[in-house]
Amino acid sequence: MDSDDELASRLRGGDERALRAAYDRHGAAVFYLAQRLLGNRADAEDVTQLTFVAAWTGRDGYDPQRGTMLGWLLGIARRKAVDRMRSAARDDRVTETVRAHLVPPDGRETPERVVDRLVVADEMGRLPEEQRRTLELAFFDDLTHHQIAAVTGLPLGTVKSHIRRGMANLRRRWEVDGAPSGSRSVGPTRAL
Amino acid sequence: MHHLDPDRLVLLALSDEPGLDESDHLDGCAACRHDLAALRDVAGIGAELQDLRDLPAPPEHVWSAIESEIAGPARRRRPRRLVPAMAAAVAAVVAVAGAVAFFRAPAEQVVARATLTPLATVPAGAGGSVRVLADGQMRIEVRNLPLTTGFHEVWLIDPDDLTRMVALGNLGDRPDEVLPVPAGVDMNRYSLVDVSDEPHDGDATHSGRSLLRGTLTS
């Protein structure tokens, strides 16, 4: 699997296959975000298409030093989804602002939250297998360190270090690539 | 003052309640509070990830639409004239065709066919089919194409390099049309049949607005 760096340089060189590789890797996440934001499949398909076309035309603007390709693509997708909501609002002569669309009144998730989930999920997928599995047991099954050690047969110390490192990796990625949020301060992080 | 142990912070973020002395420390230590808050956020996001494994890919027609869009601007390089090698090949094949015509080869022999499906931006009811006959004629039938103020043009495109294409001709008002495939065109290479919407702008290159596509198979 090519790194983001390799993919980015192929993309900048005008290699259409690099766009296809990015689409194969991240198309599902972009599509998921668009569906969550727009709530209908046809618009989500359009926004997915617009996102990758914009990624192609704006490929010189992607800098792997500043974030992952997924983070970049999700940023484009959010903007395209917002554009789509604006034009829908215009079409419908709806007086609500786009902001009202973006902050669901019934307490549903915000776009920021969906982006956060997607980047953290992507990072989960990049963790070493045992680290990922250990974290899943902690997240999804709500198991304690001791229970995880019992289930997996790993020594308690190993479970602890998997979870500590895994959490640190997810946190780092989230702080780099997560949706910008006013309330979140990216302060100095102690080494974990 | 000792900071809280990193393993302990992770446990606090995941499930545990802080003890009294831990609470005291957190009250007085912004760094530990900050770390704990971030780890709790991560744990909260982590708990929501179960549904995100194996997200479904977007439908394939989304990619087809992307492909046709990104090929758009580059297509404005279509050569105005056949390159000499191709022209020579055409001349040679025309000569052979003249000889073959004398023997009346069975005209209805299909050498390749394709089913045309609509791109993402086109109503799903649009479609068509293509048959290429042994005599080099392409029979194309289309249905429910979006109305246009311009015209519909048929192309053969190299799927490995979308800037390479051959224009076959226009579709009239009839639902079916017969277009000659220029002799010498390698249909193994130019295997993607494309129907585009072209404005009357005097620009002979592909507009970038593909409506239908399908791949020729023999």
Whether A122 is covered by a domain: the verdict is no
**Which of the four pLDDT bands, split at 50, 70 and 90, describes residue B16?**
confident
Statement: residue A183 has pLDDT above 50? no
Q: How far apart are CA B118 and CA B127, in angstroms?
A: 6
pLDDT at A106: 47
Average pLDDT over residues A107-132: 86
Q: Which two tokens stand for residue A64?
A: 């792997």
Total structural domains within chain A: 2
Chain B positions with Cβ closer than 8 Å to A: 3, 6-7, 9-11, 13-15, 31, 34-35, 38-39, 41-43, 45-50, 52-53, 55-59, 61-63, 65-67, 69-71, 120-121, 162
Whether B114 is covered by a domain: the verdict is yes
Query: What are the residues whose beta carbons fall under 8 Å from the beta carbon of B68, sequence distance 6 or more?
Result: B119, B162, B194, B208, B210, B213
Whether B46 and B78 map to the same domain: the answer is no
Query: Beta-carbon neighbour count of residue A4 at 10 Å?
Result: 19
Query: Which of chain B's residues have a Cβ under 8 Å away from the Cβ of A143?
Result: none
Q: Quick one: DSSP state of residue B56?
A: P
> Domain range for residue B20?
6-52
Whether A77 is covered by a domain: the verdict is yes
pLDDT 10s digits, B165-174: 888 988 887 7
pLDDT 10s digits, A19-68: 999 999 999 999 999 998 888 888 899 999 999 999 999 998 898 888 88
Highest mean pLDDT: which of A171-180, B28-37, B169-178, B179-188?
B28-37
Interface contacts A/B by beta carbons within 8 Å: 116
Whether A121 is covered by a domain: the verdict is no
Query: Which of chain B's residues have a Cβ under 8 Å away from the Cβ of A144?
Result: 15
Query: Which of chain B's residues have a Cβ under 8 Å away from the Cβ of A155?
Result: none
Average pLDDT over residues A101-129: 77
**Which of the four pLDDT bands, split at 50, 70 and 90, describes residue B115?**
confident
pLDDT 10s digits, B147-204: 888 889 999 988 888 788 888 988 887 778 889 888 888 888 888 999 998 888 888 8
Burial class (CB in 10 A: 0-12, 13-18, 19+), A154: middle
Whether A119 is covered by a domain: the verdict is no
pLDDT at A91: 55
Burial class (CB in 10 A: 0-12, 13-18, 19+), B54: exposed
pLDDT 10s digits, B57-71: 999 899 999 998 887
Whether B86 and B43 map to the same domain: the answer is no
Q: Which two tokens stand for residue A43?
A: 């618009």
A16/B65 CB distance under 8 A: no
Q: Which two tokens stand for residue B177?
A: 């049309």
Whether A120 is covered by a domain: the verdict is no
Whether B176 and B78 map to the same domain: the answer is yes
Statement: residue B78 has pLDDT above 60? no
Task: Among B3, B50, B62, select the one facing A49 at the smallest CB separation.
Answer: B62
Whether A182 is covered by a domain: the verdict is yes
Task: Among A16, A48, A53, select the one facing B58 at the smallest CB separation.
Answer: A48
Please identify, among B14, B30, B52, the residue that sits at the C-terminal boundary of a domain.
B52
pLDDT at B107: 46
Query: Beta-carbon neighbour count of residue A3 at 10 Å?
Result: 11
In chain B, the percentage of residues whose pLDDT exceeds 70 is 83
Q: How far apart are CA A94 and CA B18, in angstroms?
A: 49
Whether B151 and B204 map to the same domain: the answer is yes
> Domain range for residue A173?
127-192
Please give the residue of chain A at the shortest CA–CA distance from B64. A49
User: How many angstroms separate the CA of residue B203 from the nearest CA in chain A?
Assistant: 22
Q: How far apart are CA B175 and CA A126, in angstroms?
A: 52
Whether B31 and B84 map to the same domain: the answer is no
pLDDT at B184: 83
Whether B75 and B129 map to the same domain: the answer is yes
pLDDT at A109: 65
Please give the residue of chain B at the shortest CA–CA distance from A169. B42
**Which of the four pLDDT bands, split at 50, 70 and 90, describes residue B97?**
very low
Query: Which of chain A's residues have a Cβ under 8 Å away from the Cβ of B25?
Result: none
Whether A118 is covered by a domain: the verdict is no
Asked whether the beta carbons of B61 and A18 are under 8 A apart, the reply is no
Whether B79 and B184 map to the same domain: the answer is yes
Whether B90 and B70 map to the same domain: the answer is yes
Whether A164 and A191 map to the same domain: the answer is yes
Q: Which of A94-108, B172-186, B198-212 has the lowest mean pLDDT?
A: A94-108
Task: Among A44, A49, A120, select the one facing B42 at the smallest CB separation.
Answer: A120
Whether A100 and A146 map to the same domain: the answer is no
Whether B72 and B155 map to the same domain: the answer is yes
Q: How far apart are CA A96 and CA A109, in angstroms?
A: 19
Query: What are the residues whose beta carbons fall under 8 Å from the beta carbon of B25, sequence distance 6 or more?
Result: B1, B2, B3, B4, B32
Which of A163 and B109 is assigned the larger pLDDT? A163
Burial class (CB in 10 A: 0-12, 13-18, 19+), A51: buried
Task: With residue B197 as reference, give the H or E element that holds it.
Answer: strand B192-198
pLDDT at A92: 54
Please give the residue of chain A at the shortest CA–CA distance from B71. A16
Please give the residue of chain A at the shortest CA–CA distance from B35. A189
Burial class (CB in 10 A: 0-12, 13-18, 19+), B18: middle
Whether B145 and B180 map to the same domain: the answer is yes
Give the E-state strand segments of B85-182 in sequence order.
Answer: 110-118, 127-133, 137-143, 151-157, 165-171, 176-180
Any idea of the CA torsion for A170, A171, A176, A179, to the nearest 10 degrees?
90
Whether A82 and A136 map to the same domain: the answer is no
Q: How far apart are CA B58 and CA B51, in angstroms?
A: 16
Q: How far apart are CA A5 and CA A21, in angstroms?
A: 13
Whether B182 and B162 map to the same domain: the answer is yes
pLDDT at A179: 64
Q: What's chain A's average pLDDT?
A: 82
A190/B31 CB distance under 8 A: yes
Whether B1 is covered by a domain: the verdict is no
Total structural domains within chain B: 2
Task: Among B39, B55, B70, select the one facing A19 at the smallest CB separation.
Answer: B70
Whether A105 and A132 map to the same domain: the answer is no
Whether A133 and A104 map to the same domain: the answer is no
Euclidean distance between the first and final Cα of chain A, in Å?
A: 28
What number of CA atoms fall less than 13 Å from residue B171's CA on the CB side?
Answer: 29
CATH number at residue A94: 1.10.1740.10
Statement: residue B75 has pLDDT above 70? no
pLDDT 10s digits, B127-143: 899 998 888 889 998 98
Whether B28 and B83 map to the same domain: the answer is no
Query: How many helices (H) does chain A have, and how many strands (E)?
Result: 9, 0
